[in-house]
Protein backbone atom coordinates (compact mmCIF):
# COMPACT_ATOMS: atom_id res chain seq x y z
CA UNK A 1 0.00 0.00 0.00
CA UNK A 2 2.94 2.33 0.66
CA UNK A 3 3.73 2.25 -3.07
CA UNK A 4 0.30 3.70 -3.86
CA UNK A 5 0.85 6.62 -1.47
CA UNK A 6 4.31 7.20 -2.91
CA UNK A 7 2.89 7.37 -6.43
CA UNK A 8 0.23 9.85 -5.29
CA UNK A 9 2.99 11.92 -3.67
CA UNK A 10 5.06 11.81 -6.87
CA UNK A 11 2.12 13.07 -8.95
CA UNK A 12 1.45 15.88 -6.47
CA UNK A 13 5.13 16.82 -6.33
CA UNK A 14 5.14 16.98 -10.14
CA UNK A 15 2.08 19.28 -10.13
CA UNK A 16 3.66 21.46 -7.42
CA UNK A 17 6.89 21.62 -9.45
CA UNK A 18 4.92 22.94 -12.41
CA UNK A 19 3.06 25.50 -10.28
CA UNK A 20 6.15 26.82 -8.49
CA UNK A 21 7.74 28.31 -11.61
CA UNK A 22 5.00 30.83 -12.50
CA UNK A 23 4.60 31.49 -8.77
CA UNK A 24 8.28 32.38 -8.33
CA UNK A 25 9.34 33.69 -11.73
CA UNK A 26 6.20 35.72 -12.44
CA UNK A 27 4.99 36.38 -8.86
CA UNK A 28 1.49 35.02 -9.50
CA UNK A 29 -0.43 34.69 -6.21
CA UNK A 30 -2.88 32.12 -7.54
CA UNK A 31 -0.08 29.78 -8.61
CA UNK A 32 1.66 30.34 -5.29
CA UNK A 33 -1.38 29.12 -3.36
CA UNK A 34 -1.76 26.13 -5.67
CA UNK A 35 1.91 25.25 -5.24
CA UNK A 36 1.74 25.37 -1.44
CA UNK A 37 -1.42 23.24 -1.30
CA UNK A 38 -0.13 20.65 -3.77
CA UNK A 39 3.27 20.40 -2.11
CA UNK A 40 1.65 20.12 1.32
CA UNK A 41 -0.56 17.23 0.21
CA UNK A 42 2.42 15.57 -1.49
CA UNK A 43 4.46 15.84 1.71
CA UNK A 44 1.63 14.29 3.73
CA UNK A 45 1.23 11.28 1.41
CA UNK A 46 5.00 10.95 1.25
CA UNK A 47 5.14 10.81 5.05
CA UNK A 48 2.42 8.13 5.13
CA UNK A 49 4.29 6.12 2.49
CA UNK A 50 7.62 6.27 4.37
CA UNK A 51 6.06 5.25 7.69
CA UNK A 52 4.07 2.41 6.15
CA UNK A 53 7.12 1.22 4.19
CA UNK A 54 9.25 0.90 7.34
CA UNK A 55 6.46 -0.54 9.50
CA UNK A 56 5.65 -3.14 6.86
CA UNK A 57 9.32 -4.16 6.76
CA UNK A 58 9.47 -4.27 10.61
CA UNK A 59 12.44 -1.93 10.81
CA UNK A 60 13.19 1.76 11.27
CA UNK A 61 16.21 1.99 8.98
CA UNK A 62 16.04 1.98 5.16
CA UNK A 63 17.52 -0.97 3.30
CA UNK A 64 18.14 -0.83 -0.41
CA UNK A 65 18.64 2.03 -2.84
CA UNK A 66 14.96 2.78 -3.44
CA UNK A 67 14.09 3.02 0.24
CA UNK A 68 17.01 5.41 0.76
CA UNK A 69 15.89 7.49 -2.23
CA UNK A 70 12.36 7.74 -0.85
CA UNK A 71 13.59 8.91 2.56
CA UNK A 72 16.09 11.28 0.95
CA UNK A 73 13.29 12.91 -1.03
CA UNK A 74 11.25 13.19 2.16
CA UNK A 75 14.18 14.90 3.88
CA UNK A 76 14.61 17.41 1.03
CA UNK A 77 10.91 18.27 1.07
CA UNK A 78 10.93 18.49 4.87
CA UNK A 79 13.82 20.95 4.92
CA UNK A 80 12.09 23.04 2.27
CA UNK A 81 8.88 23.26 4.28
CA UNK A 82 10.86 24.08 7.43
CA UNK A 83 12.70 26.94 5.73
CA UNK A 84 9.52 28.14 4.04
CA UNK A 85 7.60 28.21 7.36
CA UNK A 86 10.26 30.39 9.01
CA UNK A 87 11.30 32.66 6.14
CA UNK A 88 8.46 32.39 3.60
CA UNK A 89 11.14 31.52 1.03
CA UNK A 90 9.02 29.82 -1.57
CA UNK A 91 11.67 30.71 -4.15
CA UNK A 92 13.66 27.69 -2.96
CA UNK A 93 10.80 25.57 -4.23
CA UNK A 94 12.00 25.82 -7.83
CA UNK A 95 14.96 23.70 -6.71
CA UNK A 96 13.55 21.63 -3.83
CA UNK A 97 10.26 20.46 -5.37
CA UNK A 98 11.59 19.23 -8.75
CA UNK A 99 14.56 17.60 -7.02
CA UNK A 100 12.21 15.80 -4.63
CA UNK A 101 10.14 14.60 -7.58
CA UNK A 102 13.21 13.32 -9.44
CA UNK A 103 14.47 11.52 -6.32
CA UNK A 104 11.22 9.66 -5.56
CA UNK A 105 10.13 9.10 -9.16
CA UNK A 106 12.18 5.95 -9.62
CA UNK A 107 11.11 4.36 -6.26
CA UNK A 108 7.48 5.11 -7.15
CA UNK A 109 7.78 2.82 -10.18
CA UNK A 110 7.98 -0.16 -7.87
CA UNK A 111 10.49 -2.23 -5.91
CA UNK A 112 11.36 -4.31 -8.97
CA UNK A 113 12.80 -3.32 -12.32
CA UNK A 114 10.22 -1.64 -14.55
CA UNK A 115 9.45 -3.27 -17.90
CA UNK A 116 7.51 -1.89 -20.84
CA UNK A 117 4.51 -3.89 -22.09
CA UNK A 118 5.99 -4.21 -25.59
CA UNK A 119 9.01 -3.26 -27.67
CA UNK A 120 6.90 -0.76 -29.63
CA UNK A 121 5.98 1.13 -26.45
CA UNK A 122 9.63 1.26 -25.42
CA UNK A 123 10.65 2.62 -28.83
CA UNK A 124 7.94 5.28 -28.55
CA UNK A 125 9.26 6.38 -25.16
CA UNK A 126 12.82 6.37 -26.52
CA UNK A 127 11.82 8.59 -29.46
CA UNK A 128 10.04 10.98 -27.08
CA UNK A 129 13.12 11.05 -24.82
CA UNK A 130 15.48 11.94 -27.66
CA UNK A 131 13.06 14.43 -29.24
CA UNK A 132 12.47 16.28 -25.94
CA UNK A 133 16.19 16.62 -25.19
CA UNK A 134 17.03 17.69 -28.74
CA UNK A 135 14.25 20.30 -28.59
CA UNK A 136 15.75 21.62 -25.35
CA UNK A 137 19.23 21.82 -26.88
CA UNK A 138 17.92 23.55 -30.01
CA UNK A 139 15.99 26.06 -27.89
CA UNK A 140 19.13 26.81 -25.90
CA UNK A 141 21.07 27.33 -29.14
CA UNK A 142 18.43 29.76 -30.42
CA UNK A 143 18.55 31.61 -27.10
CA UNK A 144 22.31 31.95 -27.42
CA UNK A 145 21.97 33.12 -31.03
CA UNK A 146 19.45 35.79 -30.01
CA UNK A 147 21.79 36.86 -27.20
CA UNK A 148 24.74 37.17 -29.59
CA UNK A 149 22.65 39.20 -32.03
CA UNK A 150 21.61 41.36 -29.07
CA UNK A 151 25.26 42.17 -28.38
CA UNK A 152 25.87 42.96 -32.06
CA UNK A 153 22.80 45.19 -32.29
CA UNK A 154 23.69 46.94 -29.05
CA UNK A 155 27.19 47.67 -30.31
CA UNK A 156 25.76 48.90 -33.59
CA UNK A 157 23.34 51.29 -31.89
CA UNK A 158 25.91 52.59 -29.45
CA UNK A 159 28.29 53.35 -32.32
CA UNK A 160 25.77 56.04 -33.42
CA UNK A 161 26.20 55.25 -37.09
CA UNK A 162 23.72 56.22 -39.73
CA UNK A 163 21.20 53.53 -40.81
CA UNK A 164 22.97 52.72 -44.07
CA UNK A 165 26.52 52.83 -42.69
CA UNK A 166 28.37 49.58 -42.09
CA UNK A 167 29.66 48.50 -38.67
CA UNK A 168 32.96 46.89 -39.68
CA UNK A 169 34.88 45.82 -42.73
CA UNK A 170 35.94 42.33 -43.68
CA UNK A 171 38.66 41.20 -46.15
CA UNK A 172 38.10 41.70 -49.86
CA UNK A 173 36.12 44.84 -49.15
CA UNK A 174 32.89 43.02 -48.19
CA UNK A 175 30.82 44.78 -45.52
CA UNK A 176 28.05 42.88 -43.70
CA UNK A 177 24.72 44.73 -43.71
CA UNK A 178 23.19 44.87 -40.23
CA UNK A 179 20.04 46.88 -40.84
CA UNK A 180 18.02 43.66 -40.81
CA UNK A 181 18.68 43.04 -37.12
CA UNK A 182 15.52 43.16 -34.96
CA UNK A 183 15.18 45.70 -32.14
CA UNK A 184 16.91 44.99 -28.83
CA UNK A 185 13.63 44.34 -27.04
CA UNK A 186 12.60 41.76 -29.64
CA UNK A 187 15.92 39.93 -29.36
CA UNK A 188 15.63 39.95 -25.58
CA UNK A 189 12.13 38.47 -25.71
CA UNK A 190 13.23 35.79 -28.19
CA UNK A 191 16.14 34.78 -25.97
CA UNK A 192 13.90 34.49 -22.90
CA UNK A 193 11.01 32.77 -24.69
CA UNK A 194 13.25 30.07 -26.16
CA UNK A 195 14.71 29.43 -22.71
CA UNK A 196 11.25 29.01 -21.22
CA UNK A 197 10.31 26.65 -24.06
CA UNK A 198 13.43 24.53 -23.69
CA UNK A 199 13.17 24.03 -19.93
CA UNK A 200 10.02 21.84 -19.89
CA UNK A 201 11.41 19.90 -22.86
CA UNK A 202 14.57 19.12 -20.92
CA UNK A 203 12.57 18.18 -17.82
CA UNK A 204 10.32 15.80 -19.77
CA UNK A 205 13.35 14.29 -21.48
CA UNK A 206 15.08 13.56 -18.17
CA UNK A 207 11.93 12.06 -16.65
CA UNK A 208 11.43 9.76 -19.64
CA UNK A 209 15.11 8.84 -19.50
CA UNK A 210 14.69 7.83 -15.85
CA UNK A 211 11.87 5.49 -16.87
CA UNK A 212 13.91 3.99 -19.71
CA UNK A 213 16.81 3.38 -17.34
CA UNK A 214 14.73 1.12 -15.14
CA UNK A 215 14.35 -1.48 -17.88
CA UNK A 216 18.10 -1.90 -18.25
CA UNK A 217 20.14 -4.35 -16.22
CA UNK A 218 22.23 -1.43 -14.95
CA UNK A 219 19.46 -0.13 -12.69
CA UNK A 220 20.72 2.53 -10.30
CA UNK A 221 24.20 2.31 -11.88
CA UNK A 222 22.69 4.09 -14.88
CA UNK A 223 22.78 7.33 -12.89
CA UNK A 224 26.55 7.04 -12.46
CA UNK A 225 26.93 7.55 -16.19
CA UNK A 226 28.84 10.83 -16.74
CA UNK A 227 26.43 11.83 -19.48
CA UNK A 228 23.41 11.39 -17.21
CA UNK A 229 25.09 13.29 -14.36
CA UNK A 230 26.04 16.12 -16.74
CA UNK A 231 22.46 16.28 -18.04
CA UNK A 232 21.08 16.77 -14.52
CA UNK A 233 23.77 19.41 -13.85
CA UNK A 234 22.66 21.21 -17.01
CA UNK A 235 19.06 21.05 -15.77
CA UNK A 236 20.09 22.71 -12.48
CA UNK A 237 22.06 25.39 -14.35
CA UNK A 238 19.02 25.92 -16.58
CA UNK A 239 16.87 26.56 -13.47
CA UNK A 240 19.45 29.01 -12.11
CA UNK A 241 19.52 30.87 -15.43
CA UNK A 242 15.73 31.24 -15.52
CA UNK A 243 15.62 32.28 -11.87
CA UNK A 244 18.37 34.88 -12.18
CA UNK A 245 16.95 36.37 -15.37
CA UNK A 246 13.48 36.80 -13.87
CA UNK A 247 14.10 37.59 -10.22
CA UNK A 248 17.24 39.69 -10.63
CA UNK A 249 15.89 41.43 -13.72
CA UNK A 250 18.95 40.35 -15.67
CA UNK A 251 18.73 41.64 -19.21
CA UNK A 252 20.90 42.71 -22.07
CA UNK A 253 24.62 42.04 -22.07
CA UNK A 254 24.81 40.23 -18.74
CA UNK A 255 21.98 37.91 -19.71
CA UNK A 256 23.77 37.20 -23.01
CA UNK A 257 26.98 36.29 -21.20
CA UNK A 258 25.08 34.03 -18.82
CA UNK A 259 23.37 32.29 -21.75
CA UNK A 260 26.81 31.73 -23.25
CA UNK A 261 27.97 30.09 -20.02
CA UNK A 262 24.96 27.74 -20.07
CA UNK A 263 25.74 26.92 -23.69
CA UNK A 264 29.24 25.87 -22.66
CA UNK A 265 27.71 23.55 -20.06
CA UNK A 266 25.53 22.08 -22.81
CA UNK A 267 28.64 21.42 -24.91
CA UNK A 268 30.14 19.65 -21.90
CA UNK A 269 27.04 17.44 -21.73
CA UNK A 270 27.43 16.53 -25.39
CA UNK A 271 31.15 15.89 -24.88
CA UNK A 272 30.30 13.53 -22.02
CA UNK A 273 28.72 11.30 -24.65
CA UNK A 274 32.22 10.36 -25.75
CA UNK A 275 33.04 8.97 -22.30
CA UNK A 276 29.67 7.36 -21.64
CA UNK A 277 29.72 3.58 -21.34
CA UNK A 278 25.92 3.33 -20.91
CA UNK A 279 24.47 5.00 -23.98
CA UNK A 280 25.72 7.15 -26.83
CA UNK A 281 24.28 8.92 -29.84
CA UNK A 282 26.58 7.03 -32.13
CA UNK A 283 27.77 3.42 -32.33
CA UNK A 284 30.01 2.07 -29.54
Query: Where a domain ends, among 112, 144, 165?
Result: 112
Q: Are 130 and 70 contained in the same domain?
A: no
Q: Are 67 and 191 contained in the same domain?
A: no
> 24: Cβ–Cβ under 8 A, 6 or more apart, which residues?
90, 91, 93, 94, 243, 246, 247
Query: Where a domain ends, among 97, 112, 127?
Result: 112
Provide the pLDDT for residue 283: 45
Q: Are 71 and 180 contained in the same domain?
A: no
Query: Where a domain ends, among 112, 134, 159?
Result: 112
Express each pLDDT in 170-198 by its tens digit.
454 445 555 667 787 888 888 888 888 88
Q: At 281, is the secondary structure helix, strand, or coil? A: coil
Provide the pLDDT for residue 47: 94
Q: Are 162 and 191 contained in the same domain?
A: yes
Q: Are 87 and 156 contained in the same domain?
A: no
Query: How many domains does the chain divide into?
Result: 2
Provide the pLDDT for residue 102: 86
Q: Are 96 and 128 contained in the same domain?
A: no
Q: Are 142 and 278 contained in the same domain?
A: yes
Where are any strands of DSSP class E within the chain?
none
Express each pLDDT in 254-272 by its tens digit.
767 777 777 777 777 666 6
**Gap between the Cα atoms of 138 and 123, Å rounded:** 22
**Gap between the Cα atoms of 154 and 222, Å rounded:** 45
How would you class 101 by CB atoms within 10 Å of its CB: exposed for 0-12, middle for 13-18, buried for 19 or more?
buried
Provide the pLDDT for residue 154: 77
**Gap between the Cα atoms of 68 and 210, Å rounded:** 17
Provide the pLDDT for residue 142: 87
Q: Are 11 and 129 contained in the same domain?
A: no
Specify the pTM.
0.72
Q: Which domain holds residue 149?
A: 116-284
**Gap between the Cα atoms of 88 and 86, Å rounded:** 6
Provide the pLDDT for residue 39: 93
Q: Are 101 and 185 contained in the same domain?
A: no
Low-confidence ranges of the chain (pLDDT < 50): 170, 172-174, 281-284
**Gap between the Cα atoms of 275 and 284, Å rounded:** 10
Amino acid sequence: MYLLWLRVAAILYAAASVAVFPAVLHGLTRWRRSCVHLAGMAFFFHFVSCVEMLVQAHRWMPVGVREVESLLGFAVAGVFFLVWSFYDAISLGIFALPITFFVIFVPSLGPDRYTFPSAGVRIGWLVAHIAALLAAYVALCFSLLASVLYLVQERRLKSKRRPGEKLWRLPLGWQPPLDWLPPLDTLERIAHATLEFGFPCMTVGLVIGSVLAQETALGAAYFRDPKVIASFVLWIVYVILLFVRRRAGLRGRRAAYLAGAVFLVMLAVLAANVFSQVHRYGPR
